[in-house]
Structure 1
Amino acid sequence: MTNPVLQLLKTPETRQKILVTLGLLACYRLGFQVPLPGTNPDYMARLASGGGGAAFGFLSAFSGGALGNTVLFALGIMPYISASIIFSILGKVSPKLEAIQKEGAAGQKKINQWTRLVTVPIAIIQALFIWFTVYANDTEGITMSTGEPGLGLAAVVILGLVAGAILVMWIGELITEYGIGNGASLIIMAGIIATMPASLSAVVQQDSQAYNTILTLVALWLTIVVLVVFIQKGERRIPIQYARLSRGRRVYGGQKHFLPLKVNMAGVMPIIFASALFMIPSVVFETLGWRYLAGMFMDADGFIYVSISMVLVFFFCFFWNNLMFQPDDIATNLREHGAFVPGIRPGQKTSQHIKAILQRVTLAGAVFLAIVAVLPGLITAKVPGLQGNLAYFLGGTSVLIVVGVAMDLVDKLNAQLVMRNYEGFMKGGAGPAWAGKKGA
């Protein structure tokens, strides 16, 4: 048996894709070494280490761990992901956009172009939000200037953040086109993994018993990885039977298939929606001067924060699954192709049956995601030195992203091996039984 890794490296096409992916990811990480002009990296580093709150830690981890650094790629891939989410929702709500999506490659090309265009205003809005909420409040020397931050510095910072977001989007699309896997997902994964040395270093510096703490974190992290893989691979299979058709003496159809419903069909989207919506009350209360209420919404291990977060995750999990998975359309397609669920009448009864199963599967996935959403805050409260985006690396949210992307990458690599080395019924290269006989 040949080592699969060696097989991948020996294949010229796959080797080239792997090298291109690694090279583009290296270029992405180089962007973190380019500082924004006029800013002070020390203050933002302290803010990322725990002073920014739970919401800041989540956004920093999801953007690649760079929101806490005054660098060119501080926004990361967030604007492009936001634009993609918007068009995913609009594709299910707008009939015109749904018709464009069904046009195949041409329709997908249009959607991709619109996503790129929408990424620019989203990046501008996020850059303005960061400037007015973080940079403009120059109370602790966030800028290198001695006076108040002016319009010139604001323009430089905002344009730098927007340009960095567009450049990251371009790198992600290059990875998708010429590399292996989804470029945006790999960029998020690379950003999360890159925070591992800093996370462990912070724990070691602030904990006198760092050795025991690191062992506990590693054991907890491995446990979470096993659970995430188990849930990600879990699915409910609905049996599908195709009707038999007779044409003369031949009988067609009659095959048995399955309609798989994944337990965690929504992925990490409900956590993203819940975290984005959860920031609104804290920002509003902080602006109005109601610091007590704002503190309750920012206390990651408090009762109010945990309760509302779990409720929001449950709501968005059901909302996303019901929006993206349409039982009526599936029942119609099954009936048009001569398929049915054994024991269930085609049409409306099949739709109701699939919808009932979907609700139960979604409930299990929502419980899992709700636990994952509140886990970083609980870990932060128990482990000294683990705050902000550090908790989200060792917590459930980042692990869910990393494991999901890694599993997708492994599937892509296995597909490359199958395409290259598929032997079929010619396994062993012996050829037909009559090939070596005389007179054949």
Structure 2
Amino acid sequence: MATSADRMAQGLNLAKFAKATDLKKRLWFTIGALIVFRLLSYVPLPGIDPTALGLLNQQTQGGVLDFFNTFSGGALSRMSLIALGIMPYITASIVVQLATSLSPTLGAIKKEGESGRKRLNQYTRYGTVGLTAIQGYFIAVGLEALGATQGVQAVIEPGMTFRVAAVISLVGGTMFLMWLGEQITSRGIGNGVSLIIMAGIVASLPTTLVQLLEGGRSGSLDPIRIIGIVLLVIALVLFICFMERAQRRILIQYPKRQTQRGMQADRSHLPLKINTAGVIPPIFASSLLLMPLTVSQFAGQRIAGESAYGDFIIGLNQYLQHGQPLYMFLYGAGIIFFSFFYTAVVFNPEETAENLKRYGGFVPGIRPGKNTETYFDYVLTRITVIGAAYLTTICLLPEYITAALGIPFLLAGTSLLIVVNVTMDTVTQIQSHLLAHQYGDLIKKAKLKGGRLR
């Protein structure tokens, strides 16, 4: 019976989809915005020699910047206007959220409601401009020094004019992506920033597939290893879907009330997701790593061989390649930290306990008020430990396997996590719009019938 009901519901959704005009407009707007994002990734910075870009890719290949190049859909390797992608905006939002938790002044602004949220968003935009300008300057300086020892000039006309033009172009590209993400969120379907990151990852999937097949054809990867990689990807996707739907349901009971069947007590459940923070911790950790690594990568090109600092920076970048212990430690530590931090931002045990007490709800066996708050905090901490371990395993295990087996391309669990999460969230929003459209039709029919009766 459940299977038949599900099929009927799917058929109903498909039938209603053609009539959901507003939903179709939102979907077309989202698709159009993502197409614009992909087109911008092929617009190069002014004054760049394409031949030198090939040299840049060879010098940084296998480094940690390859990982961030995946997020931008190849824009970083092509040195396009959106080479830095949306990451500076994410980094700025992290700084603002951390400052809100630490500063009483910003905390008071956050509690002002909609006006406070707009002020904090404005601070985030200012921070985005500053971070992009800093990264853009070091990228421009590094590009000027790129290939100097090999007799190849990456920049056609080096100098302050190129640096200013590069910084302005990168700032403009990042700010446009930030605006585009906000437009997708308000006028499209899903979270705009997450969809932009997912679009960049999906755009790089064909290249990864070609590398896998080419490895099998050339003999660098044996068929058993290829089958193992495919099975590992399938297992990771299934595991991600299972963990993202896993919940810890806390029983909530309300006072008894009189009904036709006598005195009855209302019961409900407070669902707490095992991974309350979602895909935010890997994205935040990646964004924080990108800022210093971009600076060190391109600054090292400038001062390499000129001083001990240049050699130190080049050596540090070598330790931050995929599969290296230092990189995996920093990335894993960032994921764990943001798992707890963002969970604390999303779910407030004190506020939830007060709301339950106000409406007469309570957890059986737990006194309302402070005891309920302590209980929520205890449960949330325990499941967050599981969620943080799950995220760290998903993000680091494939990279360790890639390095250990010598696979000639990146098997990124972070990319799979983002794609699966964003896809599930977008599908959920589409279903919500379809459901709202169906209820709207029912209300209209009810009003029409009521008018005819009159």
Q: TM-score band, normalised by the shorter chain?
A: 0.7 to 0.9
Is 1:90 paired with 2:99? yes
Q: Which one of the candidate residues 46, 68, 74 is aligned to 1:59?
A: 68
Residue in 1 aligned with 2:234?
Answer: 222
Is 1:332 paired with 2:349? no
Residue in 1 aligned with 2:306?
Answer: none
| Alignment partners' CA distance in 1, 2:130 and 2:327 | 31
1:232 maps to a residue whose letter is E
How many percent of aligned residue pairs carry the same amino acid? 36
State the secondary structure of the residue aligned to 1:340: coil
| Alignment partners' CA distance in 2, 1:45 and 1:261 | 48
Q: Which one of the candidate residues 169, 189, 205 is aligned to 1:196?
A: 205
**For the Cα contact (< 8 Å) 1:55–1:275, is it kept in 2?**
no
Name which structure has the greater RCO, CA cutoff 8 Å, separation 6+: 1
Distance 1:278 1:176, change over 3 A: closer
| Alignment partners' CA distance in 2, 1:346 and 1:3 | 44
**For the Cα contact (< 8 Å) 2:143–2:155, is it kept in 1?**
no
**For the Cα contact (< 8 Å) 1:266–1:317, is it kept in 2?**
yes
Q: Which one of the candidate residues 72, 87, 98 is aligned to 1:78?
A: 87
Is 1:19 paired with 2:28? yes
Is 1:265 paired with 2:287? no
Residues 340-355 of structure 1 correspond to what in structure 2 (within 5 A)? 340-355=362-377
2:385 maps to a residue whose letter is L
Deviation at 1:276, TM superposition (A): 5.6
| Alignment partners' CA distance in 2, 1:142 and 1:121 | 28
Q: Which one of the candidate residues 336, 339, 347 is aligned to 1:314?
A: 336
Measured against aligned partners, the alpha-carbon deviations of 1:330-363 in whole angstroms (never above 9, x if no partner) come to 2233223322111011122212211221121011
Q: Which one of the candidate residues 251, 256, 269 is aligned to 2:267?
A: 256
State the secondary structure of the residue aligned to 2:41: helix
**For the Cα contact (< 8 Å) 1:274–1:309, is it kept in 2?**
yes
Deviation at 1:115, TM superposition (A): 2.8
Q: Structure 1: where are the runs of 5+ without partners?
A: none
Distance 1:83 1:304, change over 3 A: closer
| Alignment partners' CA distance in 2, 1:348 and 1:173 | 39
| Alignment partners' CA distance in 1, 2:317 and 2:193 | 33
Residue in 2 aligned with 1:417?
Answer: 434
1:73 maps to a residue whose letter is I
Residue in 2 aligned with 1:37?
Answer: 46
**For the Cα contact (< 8 Å) 2:30–2:189, is it kept in 1?**
yes
State the secondary structure of the residue aligned to 1:243: strand
Residue in 1 aligned with 2:425?
Answer: 408
Q: Which moved more, 1:337-346 or 1:250-259?
A: 250-259
**For the Cα contact (< 8 Å) 1:44–1:142, is it kept in 2?**
no
Size of the alignment, in residue pairs?
426
Q: Which one of the candidate residues 361, 373, 377 is aligned to 2:399?
A: 377
Question: TM-score under structure 2 normalisation?
Answer: 0.80
Is 1:123 paired with 2:145? no
| Alignment partners' CA distance in 2, 1:323 and 1:59 | 26
**For the Cα contact (< 8 Å) 2:89–2:178, is it kept in 1?**
yes
Measured against aligned partners, the alpha-carbon deviations of 1:271-323 in whole angstroms (never above 9, x if no partner) come to 34544666769949974634796367324334454455444533443344345
Question: TM-score under structure 1 normalisation?
Answer: 0.83
| Alignment partners' CA distance in 2, 1:278 and 1:294 | 13
State the secondary structure of the residue aligned to 1:66: coil
Deviation at 1:144, TM superposition (A): 4.5
Measured against aligned partners, the alpha-carbon deviations of 1:94-114 in whole angstroms (never above 9, x if no partner) come to 444444444444443333333
| Alignment partners' CA distance in 2, 1:419 and 1:252 | 34
**For the Cα contact (< 8 Å) 1:199–1:386, is it kept in 2?**
no
| Alignment partners' CA distance in 1, 2:281 and 2:272 | 17
| Alignment partners' CA distance in 2, 1:324 and 1:133 | 39
State the secondary structure of the residue aligned to 2:64: helix
| Alignment partners' CA distance in 1, 2:131 and 2:327 | 27
Deviation at 1:386, TM superposition (A): 3.4
Q: Structure 2: where are the runs of 5+ without partners?
A: 1-7, 301-308
2:364 maps to a residue whose letter is P
Measured against aligned partners, the alpha-carbon deviations of 1:146-205 in whole angstroms (never above 9, x if no partner) come to x7x322221222211111111111221221221111111111111110111222223444
| Alignment partners' CA distance in 2, 1:318 and 1:113 | 26
**For the Cα contact (< 8 Å) 1:36–1:157, is it kept in 2?**
yes
State the secondary structure of the residue aligned to 1:256: strand
State the secondary structure of the residue aligned to 1:70: coil
**For the Cα contact (< 8 Å) 2:38–2:73, is it kept in 1?**
no
1:349 maps to a residue whose letter is N
Measured against aligned partners, the alpha-carbon deviations of 1:8-32 in whole angstroms (never above 9, x if no partner) come to 2432111111111111111111102
Deviation at 1:228, TM superposition (A): 0.9
Distance 1:255 1:136, change over 3 A: farther
| Alignment partners' CA distance in 1, 2:166 and 2:115 | 37
